[in-house]
Each structure stands twice: as C-alpha cells, then as structure tokens.
Chains A and B, each alone.
Chain A
Amino acid sequence: MKQKIKILHIAFFLFGLILFIRFDKFIDFLELLFQYFLFFVYDFSGALSFLNFPLIDAIISIKLFVIIPICLYVFRRSSLLNKPVSFSIFVTIVLIFVFIFAPLLAEWHPDFQKDVTVTKFLPPLSKVNIIYLSSGESKPLSREEKFLLARDKAITKSFDDNLLFADSLSYNSKVVKYFQDGFSKEISTEKVVIFDGIPKIEQTIFWLGTDEFGRDVLARIIYGTRISLLVGIGSVIISLILGLGLGFLSGYSGGFTDTVLSRLTEMFLSFPIIFLVVMIIALFGNSLLAVIIVLGFSGWMSLFKIVKSEVASVKKKDFFLSARLIGLSGLRLLLRELLPVMTAPVLVNLVFQFGYVILAESTLSFLGLGTGTEYPSWGAMIQAGQQHITKAWWMIIFPGSVLIAALISANNIGRSLIKQINSR
C-alpha cells in the first residue's frame, strides 16, 4: 500500500520546523511565560496592569504551541487528520500556523524601523550587522524587572534604541567604527554590550528583504496573514449569521415575509456591491472593523438562497414535522434539525465566501481603502511595492504570491468539497 502524506504529518513537520528555526525564540517565550506566571502569583494587580494585546498574544501562542501537538497526538486517529494532503490543504495549514504563531515566527515587529538609510530596500537574503548598545542597567532584582526583561527579550517591539544597524564595521579596544550609507561613524566601546571581551556584533538576515522604510517584508507578510484571515473569519461569521437567520425566517415562515426577503435579496444581488463597499468605506472611514462589517454585510445573499431552498425542502419531511410538533422553538429547530442537514452546501458557500472576502480585503487595501496604515496587509504591501517597482521586486512578488496561493487554495478546497458532496 502506498503511504500518503497526511495532514497530521504536515502539522508535526511544521511544528518541528518552527522549533528548529526559532528555538531561541521558543526558549525566550517559555521564559516569559514562566516569569509572568511567577509575577502573577507574586503581585496579581501589578501583573494585570501589564496585560496588553502583544503580551496576551504571545502567551496564547506559546500555550497553543505546546497544547496543539498534544491534541494532535491524542486525536491522531481522527479522519480529518488522516486526509491526504494536496497543495491547497498544505497552503491552508501553513496559513493557519502563521495565523496562530505569528509572534513566534516573526523575527521583527512588522513596523520595526531603525537606521532606515542602512535597512531600506534590502534585497532578499541580505545580511546587515547589528551592534548591540548596552542600556546601562545593572542586573534585575525584583520580579517585575525580571518579567520586563523577559518580555522585552521575547516580544518584538516597533522601536528599539539599543540596536544599531551598520553596513560594515571595524573595532579596536576603544571605539567601534561603522558605516551607514557611506558615512563613517564612531561609538565608544563603553556604550556597546561587551561579550567575551569583544563588542557584541551579530549579522542578521532579512530573508525576504525590506521595504522602503526598512521594515522586514517577511514579518509584514506574517502579520498581514493575520489581518487577512481575521477579516475573512469575521466577515464570514457575519454573513453566516445573516444568511442563516434570514434564510430560515424566509423559508420557515413563508408568505409575506418570504416575498419581501426574497425581493430584498434579489435587489442586493443586482446591486454593484464593489461600488457600494467603496462608497461606504469612503463615507464612514476605513478601519479594520468597518472593513469586516461591510464585507460581511455584502456577502450573505448567496447563503440566504441556499438556506431558504434547503429549509423549504426539509419543511415537509417527517423528522422535521415531528420535531416541530414536540414543540421545539425556532432557534432550536434551526440549530438541531436544520443545520446538520445542510452543513455541506453551507460549508462550500462559506469556503468560497472566505476566498472572496480575502480578495476583497486585499483589493480595498490596494486601493488605500482597507484596514488602514496601522496594520500590515498584503494588498497595501503590493500597493507600496508598485510605487517602488523599479528597484524592489521583492516587495511585490512575495506578498503577491502568498495572496495568489491563498486564493487558489480557497477556490480549490471549495471545488473539491463540491465534488465530494456530489459523489455521495
């Protein structure tokens, strides 16, 4: 029998890969978790006051990083995990991994900028020297300081004063001489972190290059994945609730409500949605929430049609009638009796809807109407890349190919789901 690569194998492979590449970071995160736990026990209110999004994010991702492999091992016999892997499923798994473990994976903060003259427009795989400056602080004593040290080590920041990027450098016992964009500069060794008697200087690699502000393209793609998937999930949930609710209402009650809702849906279907989306975002201002809501509200129509026709066909079946005669409420009928029957067509629709939303979000970001400048987004990255198309091809190719891969996989998974349903 031919052994096929299964989802389980890919998942464990990715865990191993992350552990191999980012082992230092993994240890830093574990230390952060430990220190935060100690700090939490020691000073409850003090620990709560440090709680912010990056910290929660880091803690959740490191916990999941430990919990998920265990879960995978426990459920290793389930049919979902033993499905053979195609290209689309592989891409999906990678995207999910990136979504959950973004803080572990990204070496830099997506907005990290320092010494732009050195770091801007670096091609992929280019190396840059980093000089570590000493912050002049003595060893940490209190729990709070220990925790803060662990936090600063683990969580990437958008700005760091203690780093210096340099093109090339030389040093003796007194000064470190370095070059930034052709200018020669000096810094005394007292200000530099000394490690084994020599200044601590490391070379860092920007795997996918940097953009016009010296930000790491790889880190931006990783966090952009988060935004894209977040918008996709949020909008799909809104569409799902609207489509299910209205479709059930229309199919179940029939009569006047049905006529009004069906007409309304037809109206919405023949509206030029993209123009309305653009106009709404222009009027109400663009933010992450606005994009999610607008895209969610613009995609419920096809789901409505599916749910309505399914409800209409199930309505006369015996099991549904008996459930109704027992006296189940409307919501219970929907969740217990109807949803299991129409899982397959709804799921297919949601997958396609997900792809559509990702496309719409990146298109809006490309036009400058997306999630704004505070979050990195694939579409916005490509738009920035188009302005520097003559000198920085990596700013377009990488986010573009990630976007294309995501869309193709959403499309393919939807189509293969349809095939499976039809073959049944």
Chain B
Amino acid sequence: MKERSAGIVITKRIVSSFIVLFLLVSFIFILLRVSPGDPSQKFISPELSPELIKKISRSFNLDRPIIEQYISFIGNIFTGDFGISYNHRLPVLEVIIQYLPFTLLLAFLSFSLQLIFAITLNAAIYKRMNSYYDKLLSKLSITFFAVPTFVLGVLLIFLFSVQIDIFPSNGTRSIDFDSMNFVEKLWDYFIHLLLPLFTLSVGGASVFYKYLRDNIDEVYQKLFVVKLRSDGFTEKQIFWKHILPNSIMPLISVAGIELGFLLSGTLITEVIFGLPGMGRLTINSIFTRDYPLVVGCTFISGMLMIFSTLIADLIKIKIDKRLIKDLMN
C-alpha cells in the first residue's frame, strides 16, 4: 500500500515536470508569434525578394492554420529539431552540444565547491556557536549573498587581474597552451577557472552556510544530542554522524532552487570572463538576432532547470519517506 502510493507520487511528480516542459515550449511558441514581425522575417534576410519570402514562408508552414503550426513546432522541438543557426551554419542542437559540457562542468564544480565550503565552515564553527566569529561569519554570509554576481566578478577581475595580475581575466587557456605538457595544461585550466568559480560560488556558498548553520543550531537543541553525550560519544562523532546528516536534509530543497540560480549565474559569469559556455552562447545569439539558437538555448536551459528540481525532489523523497505525505496533498 505504502509502496504503491510512493510510486504514484513519484510518477505524478515526473508527469508534472513534463507538463511544465510542455508549457515552456508553448510559452516560447506564443512569444515567438506575439512578438513584432512575422517569424519568416526573423529567420531570413529582409533584402530577399518578396517571391522568395513567400516561398520560404510556405516552406515554414506559415500559411497553415495556427494550430497546425503549433503542433509542428512542438513536434520539431521534442525531436530535437530547432532549425539551423545562421551564425554557426550548423543545426542548433550541434552548436549547443559543443557549448553545453562546459556550462555543466562549471555548474557542477561550483555546486560541489559551495557544498564543501559550507560544510567545512560549519564544521569549523559548530563548537563556537554564538561566538564572535560565528556572528561575523553570519553577517558576512548575508552581505555576500546580497552582492550581485556581475559586480563581484568585475571587482575580482579588477583586484586579481589588473591590480595584482596573478590570475588571467579571460578565456580558458593561455596563448602557449599547445606547447605545454599535461600537468601544465591542467594547471592552466585551473588558474583560468579559479576566478569564475569563485564568483559563481560565493553567493550560493553563503546561502548554504547560513542555512546549514541555522539547521545545526536547531538540531543541537534536540534531546537525542544530550542522550548521545551522556552515552559518551565525542563531540566530533556526534557532529559528523548525527547532527550533520540530520541538518543537511532541508538543505536539499534549497539546493534544488539553488541549481536554478546557478544556471543564471553561469550565464553572467561566462559573459564576464569570456568563457565558452551556454550562457555566453545565448547572449551572443540574442545580439546577433540568431532566433533559432535563442529558442534552442532557452529550451535546453529550461529543461535542465526543470529536471534539476525534479531530481532534487526525488532525492528528498528517497531520503525521507515522510515527505510523500506532504507531496500527496
């Protein structure tokens, strides 16, 4: 009985994710049709002859009723056919696949960095709850959370690339990259990614830190901690084995939301540091009026975000079965 209800909840959650995805596509379609100008104008040069425009318009099925256009649009998108990017002269999906891994790598590294940072800081601070350092760190975390990604990035470039000149400000590799050996190449990547990663991670890390700190504080008040202490467990054992697992639970739902922020963060970070990722691709495609690529990027990013929240929810259900009841209602 219990297992079956869990199954139903999970399928419901997955189905609702797909519905959101479907709505996203519909929304993009509506936007494309409502925005000023015919879609054919966006997809071809205005200097072409009227006959040719008519021909292309027919080849895009623009003379058909709008419902039919909608169905073919959805069909095309779900089969991965976004059209051909004019700047890259390649199918949109191929272009995106070139740029996507970098963004995913950056997001993944930053996400792990945020978690590691938050947990280590908390491990260092848990013995000194409500001390001077604790209060200072809490204030700092709130402050850093309010600092916008792009201001932080530009300030870091100014400090470390212009004033002190120890980190490169742009790109992922140096000019003499090809002549390096493997270790030097790795080091080169590392030194190029350090500033972007830091820029991307500070906001999220401060959220995680504050959240985790408050949770740990709450868990410490519980009676089982007193019981464990009286049983003779050391503080270290109590923290790592009992307090941390108990307080990390609510963090997961925050992490799901945080992943969404992370995607928009990578967009800005990539633009600032000139990194070859999805975000910069999106912005460049907007400025060059490359509409197929804009639609493709929006869809792929939306899909990533929707699925990351889905996975966060599934992990939550996996860890704590009680949540199924909440999700049922």
Interface residues of chain A, those whose CB is within 8 Å of chain B, are: 266-267, 270-272, 274-276, 278-280, 282-285, 355, 359, 362-363, 366-369, 379, 382, 385-386, 389-390, 393, 396-397, 400, 403-404, 407-408, 410-412, 415
Question: Do A279 and B150 have beta carbons less than 8 Å apart?
Answer: no
Main secondary structure of the interface of A (DSSP, over half): helix
Distance (Å) between the CB of A373 and the closest chain B CB?
Answer: 14
Choose among B27, B151, B286 the residue that contacts A404 (Cβ–Cβ < 8 A).
B151
Main secondary structure of the interface of B (DSSP, over half): helix
* Alpha-carbon distance between A362 and B169 when the two chains are bound, in angstroms: 22
Question: Do A382 and B27 have beta carbons less than 8 Å apart?
Answer: no
25 pairs from A and B in contact (CB 8 Å cutoff): A266-B16, A270-B306, A270-B309, A271-B24, A271-B302, A272-B301, A272-B302, A272-B306, A275-B298, A279-B28, A279-B294, A282-B286, A282-B294, A363-B149, A366-B268, A385-B154, A396-B155, A396-B158, A400-B151, A400-B154, A400-B155, A403-B151, A408-B146, A408-B147, A415-B142
Q: Which partner residue on chain A sits nearest B169 by CB separation?
A: A389
Question: Do A284 and B158 have beta carbons less than 8 Å apart?
Answer: no
* Alpha-carbon distance between A274 and B265 when the two chains are bound, in angstroms: 10
Distance (Å) between the CB of A215 and the closest chain B CB?
Answer: 19
Question: Do B154 and A272 have beta carbons less than 8 Å apart?
Answer: no
Question: Do B298 and A367 have beta carbons less than 8 Å apart?
Answer: no
Question: Do B154 and A284 have beta carbons less than 8 Å apart?
Answer: no
User: Chain B contacts of A403 at CB under 8 A?
Assistant: 148, 151
* Alpha-carbon distance between A267 and B23 when the two chains are bound, in angstroms: 8
* Alpha-carbon distance between A374 and B35 when the two chains are bound, in angstroms: 23
* Alpha-carbon distance between A271 and B154 when the two chains are bound, in angstroms: 28
Q: Which partner residue on chain A sits nearest B309 by CB separation?
A: A270
CB of B92 within 8 A of chain A? no
Beyond contacts A272-B298, A408-B142: 19 other A-B pairs, Cβ-Cβ < 8 A, are A272-B264, A272-B305, A274-B267, A275-B282, A276-B27, A278-B267, A279-B28, A279-B298, A280-B31, A283-B31, A285-B36, A366-B268, A368-B287, A390-B162, A397-B155, A400-B154, A408-B143, A408-B147, A415-B142
User: Chain A contacts of B301 at CB under 8 A?
Assistant: 272, 275
* Alpha-carbon distance between A369 and B306 when the two chains are bound, in angstroms: 25
User: Chain A contacts of B302 at CB under 8 A?
Assistant: 271-272, 275-276
CB of B324 within 8 A of chain A? no
Interface residues of chain B, those whose CB is within 8 Å of chain A, are: 16-17, 19-20, 23-24, 27-28, 31-32, 35-36, 142-143, 145-151, 154-155, 157-158, 162, 169, 260, 263-264, 267-268, 271-272, 282-283, 286-287, 294-295, 297-298, 301-302, 305-306, 309
Question: Do A284 and B264 have beta carbons less than 8 Å apart?
Answer: no
Question: Do B146 and A404 have beta carbons less than 8 Å apart?
Answer: yes
User: Chain A contacts of B151 at CB under 8 A?
Assistant: 382, 400, 403-404
Question: Do A366 and B19 have beta carbons less than 8 Å apart?
Answer: no
Question: Do B287 and A283 have beta carbons less than 8 Å apart?
Answer: no
User: Chain A contacts of B295 at CB under 8 A?
Assistant: 279
Question: Do B298 and A389 have beta carbons less than 8 Å apart?
Answer: no
Question: Do B157 and A389 have beta carbons less than 8 Å apart?
Answer: yes
Question: Do A386 and B157 have beta carbons less than 8 Å apart?
Answer: yes
